[in-house]
Amino acid sequence: MNSTTTVSAAPMLHAGETIRRADRRLGVVMLAPALVYIALLVAAPFLLALFLSLTNSSAGSLEFSFVGLQNFQNVIASPVFRRALRNTFVFTFVSQLAVMVLGNVLARALMRPFFGKTLARFLILMPWAAPISLATLGWLWIFDSTFSVINWLLKVAGWLGPGQWYYWLGDTTLGMVAIITIHVWRMLPFSTVILLAGLASIPNEVREASAIDGAGTLARIFQIEIPMMRPILTVAVLFGVVFTFTDMSVVYLLTRGGPYNSTHVLASLAFQDGVLGGDVGRGAAVAIFLVPVLVVLAIVMLRSSRRAEVV
């Protein structure tokens, strides 16, 4: 019996190994497009940016020479850069906080049945589908320093007296408020949909049990629902942070970094210096400052997604 077993086991092992090898080969083939894509469109441009940041490369030329860390020294010494760095964190933190709070409110509202819910969902998703360039042009009129619709409404409502006017895009603080407002408007639908999915995934039995145990609304939200939604919340926050941290479209379209280069974020400043100003080396150096934060975020994101898989 023993010998029979041994004889019959050998071909089975061989077949298993063959399948495993074939699986491995298939795995490599399946992964190859993604790896090539990442190598060509992520790794190569990143390494190129790193390389260019050490050169005096300019937009009108493919010739350059090494300047060491001079671009970094110049950039760090620049008040415009330091302001942009601060703005990037403020922009990311404030807009994500607002998106998560408002997204939660909207998601909870959409969990309940009410008349016109389908239409409401469609309208909430609209900003996500609208091209940002078109949307920002609309917002440009809403926040225009001379013809602001908001100001006219406030004036009609008696909120603004004679001579009073909000210069939304001409004031450093109001400019950032306008930028953050548009970004929140733009990111809110995505966040709402993610949170809605998270809320829907919590079994009703859990809510019923908490109600029987006498948990109030706040206790249910903070002690049951939010902890249960943590994996999905983490993904939503991390995605939003990465997207916001690297975004330049709203700033570029709305204020172009003004007034006096005070509302730039790192991405828009890198574009202004590197592409519009033609100083590719300096632009690359500015952009490189995004990397450490993005690396940390990527690690956190990978860890949380692994945890989410376990859950």
Partner 1 sequence: MQTRRQFVVRGTKLVAIGAAAAAAGPTILVRDARADGQLRILQWSHFVPAYDKWFDPWAKEWGAKRGVNVTVDHVGFADVVPRATAEVAAQSGHDVHMFLGLASAFEEHVIDLKDAVATLEKKYGKEVDLAHRSTYNPFTRKQFALSDMWVPDPGNYHKEVWSKIGMENGPSTYDDLVKAAPEIKKVAPQMQIPIGVGLSQDIDSNMAVRNILWCHGGSIQDKDGNVVLNSPETLRALEYTKKLYSVGMTQAVLSWNAASNNQAFNAQETAYILNSISAYRTAQDNKLPVLANYFFTPALKGPTGIQLASEHVMSGYVVWKFSKSQDLAKEFLVALVDASRDSMLASKLYNFPSFYGAAAEPNTPLNKKQESGAAWIAAQCNKDPFGSTPPDKLALLAKSLPWSTNLGYPGFANPAEGEIFDTYVLTDMFAKASTGALSPKDAMAEASTRAKQIFDKWRQKKMVPGGGKDK
Beta carbons within 8 Å of 109's beta carbon, 6+ residues apart: none
Total residues binding partner 1 (CB under 8 A) = 47
Question: Does residue 194 contact residue 106 with C-beta atoms inside 8 Å?
Answer: no
Q: Minimal distance in Å, beta carbon 166 to partner 1? A: 9
- What are the φ/ψ torsions at residue 169 (nearest 5 degrees)? -100, 0
277 is a contact residue toward partner 1 (CB under 8 A): yes
268 is a contact residue toward partner 1 (CB under 8 A): no
259 is a contact residue toward partner 1 (CB under 8 A): yes
Given candidates 53, 88, 104, 272, which one binds partner 1 under the rule CB under 8 A?
Answer: 272
150 is a contact residue toward partner 1 (CB under 8 A): no
- What are the φ/ψ torsions at residue 60 (nearest 5 degrees)? -90, 15
Q: Minimal distance in Å, beta carbon 272 to partner 1? A: 6
Span near partner 1 by CB under 8 A; candidates 30-38, 60-68, 119-127, 208-216:
60-68
Long-range (24+ apart) CB contacts under 8 A made by 195-199 are 195/103, 195/104, 195/106, 195/107, 195/229, 195/232, 195/233, 195/236, 196/107, 196/110, 196/111, 197/232, 198/107, 198/229, 198/232, 198/233, 198/236, 199/107, 199/108, 199/111, 199/225, 199/229
Span near partner 1 by CB under 8 A; candidates 20-28, 195-203, 229-237, 268-276:
268-276
Beta carbons within 8 Å of 93's beta carbon, 6+ residues apart: none
167 is a contact residue toward partner 1 (CB under 8 A): yes
Given candidates 203, 260, 309, 310, which one binds partner 1 under the rule CB under 8 A?
Answer: 260
44 is a contact residue toward partner 1 (CB under 8 A): yes
Q: Minimal distance in Å, beta carbon 147 to partner 1? A: 7
Dihedral angle sign, alpha carbons of residues 230, 235, 236, 238:
positive
Given candidates 10, 41, 206, 295, which one binds partner 1 under the rule CB under 8 A?
Answer: 41
Beta carbons within 8 Å of 243's beta carbon, 6+ residues apart: 187
Span near partner 1 by CB under 8 A; candidates 24-32, 52-60, 99-107, 241-249:
52-60
Beta carbons within 8 Å of 207's beta carbon, 6+ residues apart: 220, 224
Span near partner 1 by CB under 8 A; candidates 88-96, 118-126, 140-148, 241-249:
140-148
190 is a contact residue toward partner 1 (CB under 8 A): no
SS3 at position 66? strand
231 is a contact residue toward partner 1 (CB under 8 A): no
* Cβ proximity to partner 1, 134 vs 219, nearer residue: 134
Instruction: Find the binding residues for partner 1 in span 110-129 (CB under 8 A).
Output: none
SS3 at position 55? strand
62 is a contact residue toward partner 1 (CB under 8 A): yes
SS3 at position 107? helix
Tokens of 249: 């479209």
Q: Minimal distance in Å, beta carbon 258 to partner 1? A: 4
Beta carbons within 8 Å of 256's beta carbon, 6+ residues apart: 268, 272
Q: By the criterion CB under 8 A, which residues form the site for partner 1?
A: 40-41, 44-45, 47-48, 51-52, 56, 58-63, 65, 74, 78-80, 144-147, 165, 167-172, 175, 255-262, 272-273, 275-279
